A and B are shown apart, each in its own frame.
Chain A
Amino acid sequence: MKTKNSYRSTKSKKLIIFALIVLALAITLFILEITNTTHFLNSPNVKTTNQKQEDAANTTKKQEFIDSDTTSNSGSSTSPKLSEISLSTRREVDGNITITTQLKNYSDGNCILTIKNGVDVYTQTATVLYQPYFSACRGFSVPSNAVGSGTWQISLSVISKGKTNTKTISLEVK
C-alpha cells in the first residue's frame, strides 16, 4: 500500500523531471537561436549576409536609376537609321536561302523583303523580333527557285516609328 509520503515523493520527482525537460529545451533553443539555426527569437529584420548583400545591390541600382536621366532614356523620338540595318544570306542544305538581319536600335516594326531577278519578284513580310543588343526581322526563308537563278536583288525595308529604311544587297544564285 502506498503511503501519503511516498505519493508526495513521486509527485515531486515528476515535477523535477518536467522542469529539467523544459530547461533542456530552453537551452537547446537558445543554442540553435544564437547559432542562427532557427529564428524563433530573432526578428526577420535581422538579415543574413546574403540578404544584406542583395539589399545593397538593390539600393545601388535604385540610386543609379534616380541619378540617371530616365526621361531621356525614352528613345522613341530617335528614329532608327539605315546604317543600323545589316543584311546577310546563307544557303541552307536544302537549297533554300535564309536571309538574316540585324537591326540596331530598333525596338519594333515591320520588315518587307523584296527579291527581284529580272521581271521576277518575290516578297515576304515579317515583324521585328526585339532583342536587347540588336533586333531582327523574324526570319526569311526563301526557296531557291523563288525568282530563278541569276543575280538576286534583295531589298529589305524596315518600317518603324513611321519611317522606312531600305537596304539592298545582291546575291548570285545558281
Chain B
Amino acid sequence: MFRKVGILIIIFNIVCVSLLANISQTVGAVTASDWKSGNIINDFVFTDKDAMSVSQIQTFLNGRVGTGTNGIPGQCDTYGVRTSEYGGGTRAQYAANASLHPIMGAFYPPFTCLKDFYEVPKTVPGPSVPANNYDGKKIPVGAKSAAQLIWDAAQINHISPKVLLVKLGTESAGPLTSDDWPTLSQYTYAMGAHCPDSGPGGSANCDADYSGFSIQISESAKMLRGYLDDMDQAWWGCIEGGVKVQCAANRRTGSNPGEGYKVPYTTNAILWDTTSGCGTGNIYIENKATAALYTYTPYQPNQAALNDMYGIGDSCSSFGNRNFWRTYNDWFGSSYYSDIVRTIGSATVYLISGNNKYPISNSHILSALFPLGHLSYVPQKYLDSKVTGQTMGRVIKGSGSALYYFDAGIKLAFTSCDQVVDYGYSCGSPISLTDFQIGEFSTGPNMTNVYRTTSGKRFYITAGEKKEVFDDSSLQQIGISLNTNVLGEAAISNLEYGSPVIREDVVVVSRETNKKYLFQKGTFVSLSTDISNYNGFSKLPNNKLDIASIDTLTIISDFKGFAKDGSNNKYVIDSIGKALLSNPDDWTASFIELNDTLLGSMDNSQQPVNSGFIKADKSSTLYFVTGGKKYSISNWIDFLNLHLDGSADYANISKTTSDAIIQDSTIYSPGSLIKSASNSTVYVVNGILSKIALTSFAISDDLGLNWIRIVSQSDLDAHVSDSGSLSNFISCDNKNYLANRGIIYEIDTQASSMYGYDTVSYGSWDSVGCVNLNKSPVALSNYSFVKLSDSKSIYYINGGQKHSLSSMTKYKNLGGLSGNLLIVSPKVLNMISTGPAA
C-alpha cells in the first residue's frame, strides 16, 4: 500500500516539476543566439498600429513604473522619499542638493511619472516646451496623457505603439517608462528626435524646436514612418545590376563613416559603434523595419555586446539596436516572426515571402523548410495582410532564373524545364522566395532524374511519375545514368507511382508484405513462400519494391508450381528445379507460361512425379494424383499396395502445388474391404475408385480379404459400384483364377475342363488388386483331388465333376498324392458338380 503511495507521490512531483519547468522556460530572456542582425523586428510587428489600445498603454505604463533601482513596481516616488541611488539621502534630499549635480542645479519634488504625465500636444515645431502637469500642476486644458500621445502618434504614422514604448524605454534617460522620480528635462527630448550627433564628441545636439514630450513622440513616429516610406523612392539606395543596394557612398570606405540610408533586402555595411575605427559588419537586411532601425540608429551590436546582453560589452560595442530588440522581446515577446507562420485559431501553416503567403500542405514540406526558421504564431491580421499564393510544392526560385528543388534544408538546381516537369511541377509557377531565403538553404548538387531516398529506395522520375528502380542493370537496360541524389522520400510524395524500372526474370519482394513476385513477360507472378524458396527462384536476382510499384503492373496471382514453356512442355516446379510431366492433365489444367530462358536455367528434377504419388513438403499425407485430382492414401500399407512395381516412390512437392490439385476422397488399395458405419454392406475395392458389393464372406475368405475397414460415407460414395458381381472366379491380366481359402489358382484350359469351369463367368480385377492377391505357383490343373479341411472325404476331380472315393486304396490307385490334393473351402467344393463315386 505505502509503496504504491510512494510511487504516486514521485509521479505527482515529476508532473509538478515538469509543468513549472515549462513555465520557467517560456518566460526566459533573449540570448545572443536569438539575435538576427538582419531581422531585428518584423515589418508587421513594427507597423501594427493597433497592437495596443490607449488603456493597454496606460496599464503597461502603470506596471512599468518603479521597476528600476530602488523602486516599487507600480508606484511613483512622487515626493522622493526613497533612498537616492546616487547618495545624498533621500531622492528629494539629493535633488535639492545642487552641489551634487551642479550643472542641472537643484530640483524638487513632486516628481511626475510618465504614467501620470499629461501634456498639451505640440503639433508645430517651436522653442517653447508645451504646457504639462509636471510638478504637481493641474492638467492643462487640451492636455493628453502620455498613453494617449503615444497612441495618437502610432495611429497617425502607422507605427506600433509597442515600438514607440520600446523606443522611449531605450532612448530616454531614466528611462521614463520605469523611472519613478523623473525630472522634467527627461521629458523634453525623450526620444532623441531631432537631436543630431553634432555636439561635442558626437554628442546629441537637440533642436529646441522639437522640445517637449508630445512632439518627441510624434516626430519619432513620423521619422520611422518616413524612413519606411522613403525606402521605396528611387533615390534611397543605388541600383546595381538591376537591384537596389546600399550606395557605395553610404558604405564605410576610408574616412566615410558609412552612415545614411539603409536599404532593405540587400547587404548593408553597418558600423559596430560610433567610432569608425571599429569598422563595419555586413548585414543582409531582411525587411524595411530593420532598415529603418539601422537608419535611425546606425550601429549594430558586436558579439561582446550580445554576450553581455544587459551589460556594456567592450570598447567596440553599441547598444541602441540591441537594447531595442532585447527590450521589445522582454516586454512584448518576440519582435519578429519567422517565415513559417500560423495563427492560433487555424492549423494552416504558411511560408511568408515578401508580401505573399504560401500554404504548406504537409509536415514534410514544413520540415524541409527548416532553414527559414521555427514556426511563429501570428495574429490573423498579419496573415490577412499577405496575398495568398499557391500551395507550397518543392520548387522554388529567387530573383534569378534558376529553379531549385528543396529538401532537408538543401536546394538543388534543376538542369532543365523538362526536369521540372518530370518532377510534377511547372517551370511557369515556382514559389518565388527572396534571395535571402534562397540563400538560407544549403546548396546541393544539381537535380538528377534518378532519386535515391534516405531509406534506400531509388526512383526514376519522369513525366510526373516516380518509377521505382529494381537495380543498376535495370536502369542501364533503358539507358539511364546512374547519377543520383539522396533525399527524403516524402519530397516526392506528390508523384504517382509509375511502372517500375525492372528487368526480366528477377524476383521482387514487396516491402510492405514481404510477398515475392517473379517478374517476367512484363507482369508480376506472385510466388508463394515455399515455391519462392525453391532453387529455381531463390537463385534469381531479387530486390524490394513498394507494393504501389508492383500494383502498377498486371499481377498473375498465385503461381502454383505448374509451368509450361513456349513449346507447351509442362512441368511441376519442385525444390530441385523443374520436373517434366508425362501426363500433365492428371495434375491440373492451369499451367503458367514462363520464359524459356528462366525454365532453361532451372535444373531438371529427377523426382518420380510421373508415378502419381506425391507428398507435400512438411506434410505426412501421401496422395495419388490422377485425372486432375489427388486422393489421399489412408495408410502406408495401402500406399505400398497401390504400387504395381512394389516400390515406395513418391515425389515431394510444395504445399502450394499440392494444395492446387483438387482433392478428392481417400483411396484404398484394391482388394480392400470397406463399409460405412451406417450400412452393413461390405464392398471390395476393385481398382482405384470402384467397388463391388460383397455377397458372401465365403468369397472374401477365399480371396484372402478379411480386414474390413469402416470408412466415411463420402469416401464410400466416391467409389463407384461395379455392375458385376463378385465370385471365386476372377480374371487378372487376362488369366483366370479360382479363389480358394485366400489363394488364387490359375485356371488353365485343362483345369477348366477338369473342374467343369468352361462356362463360368470371371470377374475382372484391377491389375493393382491382382498384384495384391496371393497367387499359387501351382495351377489348378495340378490338383486332381480335393477335400475339405475338416473332412476325411476326398474327391477325385475329373470330367468337370467331383467323384467321391470309397477308400484310400482307390485314392492311391487313381494317383492320389499329397501334392495333387487341394484343400478347398466348402464354397469351392459346392461349386463343383457332383458325379458318381469313382
Cβ of B104 under 8 Å from chain A: yes
Interface-side segment among A49-57, A115-123, A147-155, A164-172: A49-57
CA A98 – CA B311 in complex, angstroms? Answer: 42
Q: Is the CB of B69 within 8 A of A58?
A: yes
Cβ of A82 under 8 Å from chain B: no
Q: Is the CB of B198 within 8 A of A105?
A: yes
Cβ of A11 under 8 Å from chain B: no
Q: Is the CB of A57 within 8 A of B101?
A: no
Shortest CB distance B795–A (Å): 100
Among A24, A49, A59, A64, point to the contact of B85 (Cβ < 8 A): A59
Among B12, B86, B247, point to the contact of A63 (Cβ < 8 A): B86
Q: Determine the main DSSP class of B at the interface with A.
A: loop
| Given A73-B189, A104-B198, A28 and B13 contact (CB-CB distance below 8 Å) | yes
Residues 376-412 of chain B, each 1 if its beta carbon lies under 8 Å from chain A, else 0: 0000000000000000000000000000000000000
CA A63 – CA B249 in complex, angstroms? Answer: 38
A38-85, CB < 8 A from B: 38, 44-45, 49-51, 53-59, 61-71, 73-78
Among B226, B236, B296, point to the contact of A132 (Cβ < 8 A): B296
Q: Is the CB of A66 within 8 A of B104?
A: yes
Q: Is the CB of A57 within 8 A of B208?
A: no
- Chain B residues contacting A96 (CB-CB under 8 Å) are 234
CA A64 – CA B201 in complex, angstroms? Answer: 15
- Chain B residues contacting A98 (CB-CB under 8 Å) are 234-235, 238
B151-203, CB < 8 A from A: 173-175, 178-179, 183, 185-186, 188-189, 192-199, 203
Residues 84-97 of chain A, each 1 if its beta carbon lies under 8 Å from chain B, else 0: 00001010111010
Shortest CB distance B575–A (Å): 68
- Chain A residues contacting B69 (CB-CB under 8 Å) are 55-56, 58-59
Cβ of A110 under 8 Å from chain B: no
CA A62 – CA B206 in complex, angstroms? Answer: 17
Cβ of B17 under 8 Å from chain A: yes
Shortest CB distance B620–A (Å): 63
Among B104, B127, B235, point to the contact of A139 (Cβ < 8 A): B235
- Chain A residues contacting B474 (CB-CB under 8 Å) are none
Residue of B nearest to A44 (CB): B73
Cβ of B816 under 8 Å from chain A: no
Cβ of B433 under 8 Å from chain A: no
Q: Is the CB of B207 within 8 A of A74?
A: yes
CA A17 – CA B12 in complex, angstroms? Answer: 13
Q: Is the CB of B236 within 8 A of A53?
A: no
Cβ of A7 under 8 Å from chain B: no
Q: Is the CB of B208 within 8 A of A74?
A: yes
B1-33, CB < 8 A from A: 1, 5, 8-9, 12-13, 16-17, 20-21, 23-24, 29
Residues 290-324 of chain B, each 1 if its beta carbon lies under 8 Å from chain A, else 0: 00000111100000000001111000000000000
Shortest CB distance A121–B (Å): 21
Q: Is the CB of A134 within 8 A of B127?
A: no
Q: Is the CB of A55 within 8 A of B68?
A: yes
Q: Is the CB of A37 within 8 A of B209?
A: no
Q: Is the CB of A132 within 8 A of B12?
A: no
Q: Is the CB of A139 within 8 A of B199?
A: no
Cβ of A2 under 8 Å from chain B: no
Q: Is the CB of B5 within 8 A of A53?
A: no
Cβ of B259 under 8 Å from chain A: yes
Q: Is the CB of A65 within 8 A of B103?
A: no
CA A135 – CA B209 in complex, angstroms? Answer: 16
| Interface residues of B, count at CB 8 A | 75
CA A20 – CA B178 in complex, angstroms? Answer: 44
Cβ of A125 under 8 Å from chain B: no
- Chain B residues contacting A139 (CB-CB under 8 Å) are 230, 233-236
Q: Is the CB of A76 within 8 A of B208?
A: yes
Q: Is the CB of A62 within 8 A of B179?
A: yes
- Chain A residues contacting B261 (CB-CB under 8 Å) are 136
Q: Is the CB of A105 within 8 A of B205?
A: yes
CA A131 – CA B235 in complex, angstroms? Answer: 16
Cβ of B81 under 8 Å from chain A: no
- Chain A residues contacting B236 (CB-CB under 8 Å) are 139
Shortest CB distance A146–B (Å): 15
Q: Is the CB of B198 within 8 A of A38?
A: no
- Chain B residues contacting A21 (CB-CB under 8 Å) are 8-9, 12
- Chain B residues contacting A92 (CB-CB under 8 Å) are 234, 238-239
Among B21, B238, B309, point to the contact of A90 (Cβ < 8 A): B238
Cβ of B480 under 8 Å from chain A: no
Q: Is the CB of A107 within 8 A of B209?
A: yes
Residues 257-299 of chain B, each 1 if its beta carbon lies under 8 Å from chain A, else 0: 1011100000000000000000000000000000000011110
- Chain A residues contacting B104 (CB-CB under 8 Å) are 66-67, 70
Q: Is the CB of A108 within 8 A of B207?
A: yes
Residue of A nearest to B182 (CB): A62
| Given A21-B12, A37-B24, A74-B211, A132 and B249 contact (CB-CB distance below 8 Å) | no
Cβ of B581 under 8 Å from chain A: no
CA A51 – CA B203 in complex, angstroms? Answer: 27
CA A59 – CA B209 in complex, angstroms? Answer: 28
Shortest CB distance B516–A (Å): 58
Shortest CB distance B200–A (Å): 10
Cβ of B204 under 8 Å from chain A: yes
Cβ of A173 under 8 Å from chain B: no
Among A73, A106, A140, point to the contact of B204 (Cβ < 8 A): A73
Q: Is the CB of B310 within 8 A of A75?
A: no
- Chain A residues contacting B175 (CB-CB under 8 Å) are 58, 61
| Given A58-B174, A139-B235, A66 and B101 contact (CB-CB distance below 8 Å) | yes
Q: Is the CB of A100 within 8 A of B249?
A: yes
Residue of B nearest to A60 (CB): B312
Shortest CB distance B310–A (Å): 4
CA A64 – CA B174 in complex, angstroms? Answer: 10
Q: Is the CB of B103 within 8 A of A68?
A: yes
**Residues of A near any B CB (own CB < 8 A):** 13, 17, 20-21, 24-25, 28, 32, 37-38, 44-45, 49-51, 53-59, 61-71, 73-78, 88, 90, 92-94, 96, 98, 100, 102, 104-108, 129-136, 138-141, 161
A-B contact pairs, 17 of them (CB 8 A): A21-B8, A21-B12, A38-B23, A57-B312, A58-B179, A59-B85, A63-B86, A66-B173, A69-B103, A73-B206, A75-B199, A75-B205, A106-B196, A107-B207, A132-B195, A132-B204, A138-B233
Question: Considering the complex of A and B, which 7 residue pairs feature the smallest CB-CB distances, nearest first?
Answer: A139-B235, A74-B208, A65-B173, A107-B207, A53-B310, A76-B208, A75-B205
**Residues of B near any A CB (own CB < 8 A):** 1, 5, 8-9, 12-13, 16-17, 20-21, 23-24, 29, 68-69, 72-73, 85-86, 101, 103-104, 125, 127, 173-175, 178-179, 183, 185-186, 188-189, 192-199, 203-211, 223, 226, 230, 233-236, 238-239, 242, 247, 249, 257, 259-261, 295-298, 309-312
